[in-house]
Structure 1
């Protein structure tokens, strides 16, 4: 069965995406978030999504030292967690905006 994600589900996911889990066996941080998914038959279900790739410590200028998450096979998209008052230094944008 093919599931389509409604605009509401995407909004819900973006609002709840702060949920993170830590695998204590190797101190690896993963992103886990609840999502509201709507089927083509207009029924909804709540699912818990855990992204396959863990957060890694970034070496990219401007965010070096913060945790970054590769979100998969997309063009120039990542999820970065920066601590309060983070100073990443001066840098140029990685791609044209």
Structure 2
């Protein structure tokens, strides 16, 4: 299952807390990428990352994201959007 996970800073986010946690966040994120849980990632300036995740379920996505230091310490939350193929495209080729 593909899930788009969009980060948002919480009110607990401060530059000092971020600087303390980012040395742990970056390698943890890289490990999730190497494990195949995060397929692609982008960054929104002054907001946070966006991940395209490859997971079994939304619960799996939540559990995976909850292991990230910025989430577990309450500095980020994620909006999760399940993704699917664009089914209406099939209608374009059925009438060949």
TM score, norm. by length of structure 1: 0.29
In terms of fraction of residues, the more helix-rich structure is 2
Scaled by the length of structure 2, what TM-score is found?
A: 0.29
